[in-house]
Amino acid sequence: MAQARRPFFCGNWKLNGSIAESVALATDVRNGVATVRDADVAVAPSFTALHAVAKRLEDGPVSVAAQDCFWEEKGAFTGEVSPGQLADAGCKSVILGHSERRQLLGELDAAVNLKARAALKAGLTPIICVGETLAERDAGETLGRILAQLDAALADMSEAELGRIVIAYEPVWAIGTGRNATPAQAQEVHRFIRTRVASRSAAVAAKVRILYGGSVKPDNIRALMAEEDVDGGLVGGASLSADSFVRIVKEGASV
Ligand code: 13P
């Protein structure tokens, strides 16, 4: 990654953990990264554990992310959680447009955009996920798919708003499969994303952090981070163990 950007590692815990388990894992992560000065670290527990984890991590170096939000602030929207409620619970960021939501729950590009803009209004950092399926990659459609997801997600954002987002490239075929993208495959897409952001603002493109996600492990993060446009990791399975997540942060931050 380039010196101009500060590495960012976020553990996406997905649908895992009781409140007590989440607080314990967060505590171990906080203790494990206590000596890390040169990276931002976040964990993303389930909704039910957000407040308790945020309380435990208060005033420490590890921040809390949610895994989704709605785009309205309040009203008759049964089952939804607003960005303001997430901020109230202690969240600083929110993962949006994860491929599991796109694939299993029918999340649309337009919804990702509405959610991201609502999150920005509430003072949260949207971590916007994009990524192609294996069929799309095999058909040579990777960059076209990324372009469509990215343009839709970033539509109608001001330059100031663009400057506050984080983007995560997560190839669907690499998620939970143990088969990470090669550093060169990640770099190709990360560069493409940065170039696309540069068409809106060169200043933002130089600063925006683009995380890689998909089977990130302690033994592959260094090679990924060695690529110029890889600025951190969005880590699923390996973030459920404090030991492996802390190793990823330490390895990745020291590249
Ligand atoms: P894995 O690290 O388990 O492949 O998951 C990646 C991911 O989906 C992070 O959001």
The verdict on the CB of residue 235 being under 6 Å from ligand 1 is: yes
Q: Which pLDDT value is given to residue 57?
A: 98
**Taking CA 87 as the corner, what is the angle to CA 4 and CA 45, rounded to the nearest 5 degrees?**
80
Check if 159 is active-site. Answer: no
List, for residues 103-149, the tens digit of each pLDDT value: 999 999 999 999 999 999 999 999 999 999 999 999 999 999 999 99
Choose among 75, 71, 95: nearest CA to 83. 71
Per-residue pLDDT of 58-99, as tens digits, reads: 999 999 999 999 999 999 999 999 999 999 999 999 999 999
Q: How far is the CA of 74 from the centre of ligand 1 (A)?
A: 30
Six token digits for residue 136? 């799309």
CB atoms within 10 A of CB 149: 22
CB of 55 closer than 8 Å to CB of 26: no
Neighbours of 199 (CB within 10 A): 9
C-alpha 236 to ligand 1 mean position (Å): 3
Calpha distance 49→21 (Å, rounded):
9
Structural domains in the chain, sorted by start? 8-235+243-253 (3.20.20.70)
Q: How far apart are CA 70 and CA 80, in angstroms?
A: 6
Q: What mean pLDDT, rounded, does the chain reach?
A: 97
